[in-house]
């Protein structure tokens, strides 16, 4: 917190959980005239100053922190990170915010938490936040339908903003003759099925080669992973791939944002490796870069860009469906080429960047409206309404 933060009457001061995430950073308008009231998103207090890039466990999501900083916060907006705490801790945060008159806004990014295997704690957190938030948002119509069906309350839908920065050169990839299909397993977090995805992709490559549409398969993974056994399985699957198929594995340090975008831009098709989840930042980054996406039918990923012609779905573990998805994406691009390193790819990235510029101001206006509705609800309610108990959270 700094003395330069303007008072609430001049701007809305939003404590985001977290503030430093790319999604949250891109909720600000590009043009200050796009909104009638400024929104100031407060910086993340650091859990450990020795690790300035780490925002978890989120310091803001604490009853003591809220009490100490209540005069500096107009709205608490919870996005990610509740898995750092148990349900009672989160309940105390909500109760404290209510007692202080600070409205709570929650964006349902994840109906299924990609960081967890056991979903029971996450569902309990969702039940509390969906019931008690003064304003509820989500990213897709499908997710809104599911929230309403499970919890009895419908969120406002505000689409995911861009992930590729709008003010920096955008990679268009490096030209190559072969069709390259890639999958990034990153650090093999709980919702990434590394062995299953690689096995399915190698089998799909076999089917594509036999059908006369050969592809080169590229598997990327961080050198530091959460599941060493899964990495060993992936290494064995790549080593045992048929010698007439071009299948390679790159194990490397964690890529920064620019390196990640450049690597993704070199692909003809990216395959998503999810076993569970709701929405995907990879889908957004791939769309920004003009890279076609083959995604398993998980959560509401397919709803993020429902009209896009360069997305295709498959059933996780089904090599026939994955091969068909890749073939459809390669064929579509053959009739309207936008392959890596081409003028068509660069032009597509430019068109999408312009669409994202307009969308970003729309997203900023939608969030300002949500904050003002939340403030009105909190003002009408006062500080006396109780927080729902454990038996009242899920209908």
Asked whether the beta carbons of 209 and 244 are under 8 A apart, the reply is yes
CA 83/CA 86 separation, integer angstroms: 7
Topology agreement, domain 11-162+359-392 and domain 180-341 = yes
Q: Residue 149 to residues 111, 132, 144, 209, 264: CA-CA distances in angstroms?
A: 12, 17, 9, 43, 36
Closest of 14, 10, 3, 11 to residue 97, by C-alpha: 14
Put the strands of the sheet holding 293-296 in their side by side order. Answer: 246-252, 216-222, 180-184, 269-271, 293-296, 311-314
Task: Give the other-Cβ count within 10 Å of 1's Cβ.
Answer: 14
Task: Give the other-Cβ count within 10 Å of 264's Cβ.
Answer: 23
Residues near 68 by beta carbon (within 8 Å), at least 6 away in sequence: none
Q: Going along the chain, which residue ranges are E strands?
A: 11-17, 38-41, 75-78, 104-108, 135-138, 156-157, 180-184, 216-222, 246-252, 269-271, 293-296, 311-314
200: buried, middle or exposed (CB in 10 Å: 19+, 13-18, 0-12)? buried
Class of domain 11-162+359-392: alpha beta
Closest of 179, 241, 253, 252 to residue 214, by C-alpha: 179
CA 316/CA 52 separation, integer angstroms: 37
Pairing type for strands 38-41 and 11-17 reads: parallel
The per-residue pLDDT string of the chain (395 residues; one tens digit each, 9 = 90 and over) reads: 444 444 445 789 999 999 999 999 999 998 767 677 899 999 999 999 999 888 999 999 999 999 999 999 999 999 999 999 999 999 999 999 999 999 999 999 999 999 999 999 999 999 999 999 999 999 999 999 999 999 999 999 999 999 999 998 899 999 999 999 999 999 999 999 999 999 999 999 999 999 999 999 999 999 999 999 999 999 999 999 999 999 999 999 999 999 999 999 999 999 999 999 999 999 999 999 999 999 999 999 999 999 888 999 999 999 999 999 999 999 865 555 699 999 999 999 999 999 999 999 999 999 999 999 999 999 998 755 667 664 444 43
Closest of 135, 108, 136 to residue 122, by C-alpha: 108
CATH 3.40.50.2000 fits 180-341, yes or no: yes
Query: Would you kindly state where each structural domain of the chain is located, as residue ranges?
Result: 11-162+359-392, 180-341
């Amino acid at each position: 917190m700094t003395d330069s933060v303007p008072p609430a009457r001049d701007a809305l001061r939003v404590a985001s959980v977290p503030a430093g995430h790319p999604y949250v950073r891109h909720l600000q308008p590009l043009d200050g005239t796009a909104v009638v009231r400024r929104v100031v998103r407060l910086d993340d207090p650091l859990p450990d100053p020795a690790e300035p890039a780490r925002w978890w466990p989120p310091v803001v999501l604490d009853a003591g922190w809220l009490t100490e900083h209540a005069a500096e916060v107009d709205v608490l907006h919870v996005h990610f990170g509740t898995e750092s705490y148990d349900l009672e801790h989160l309940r105390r945060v909500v109760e404290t915010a209510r007692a202080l008159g600070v409205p709570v806004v929650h964006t349902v990014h994840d109906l299924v938490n990609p960081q967890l295997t056991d979903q029971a704690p996450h569902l309990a957190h969702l039940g509390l936040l969906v019931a008690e938030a003064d304003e509820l948002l989500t990213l897709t119509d499908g997710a809104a339908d599911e929230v309403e069906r499970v919890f009895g309350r419908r969120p406002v839908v505000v689409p995911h903003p861009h992930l590729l920065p709008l003010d920096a050169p955008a990679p268009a990839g490096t030209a190559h003759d072969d069709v390259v299909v890639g999958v990034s397993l990153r650090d093999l977090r709980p919702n990434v099925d590394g062995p299953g995805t690689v096995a399915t992709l190698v089998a799909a490559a076999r089917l594509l080669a036999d059908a006369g549409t050969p592809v080169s398969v590229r598997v990327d993974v961080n050198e530091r992973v959460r599941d060493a056994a899964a990495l060993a399985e992936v290494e064995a699957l790549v080593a045992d791939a048929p010698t007439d198929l071009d299948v390679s594995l790159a194990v490397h340090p964690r890529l920064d944002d620019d390196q990640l975008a450049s690597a993704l831009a070199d692909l003809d098709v990216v395959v998503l490796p999810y076993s569970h989840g709701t929405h995907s930042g990879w889908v957004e980054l791939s769309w920004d870069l003009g890279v076609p996406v083959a995604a398993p039918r998980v959560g509401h990923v397919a709803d993020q860009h429902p009209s896009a012609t360069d997305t295709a779905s498959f059933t996780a573990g089904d090599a026939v469906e994955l091969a068909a998805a890749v073939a459809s994406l390669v064929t579509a691009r053959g009739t309207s080429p936008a392959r890596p390193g081409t003028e068509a790819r660069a032009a597509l990235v430019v068109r999408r960047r312009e669409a994202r510029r307009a969308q970003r101001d729309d997203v900023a206006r939608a969030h300002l409206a949500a904050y003002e509705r939340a403030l009105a609800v909190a003002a009408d309610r006062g500080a006396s309404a109780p927080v729902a108990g454990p038996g009242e959270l899920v209908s």
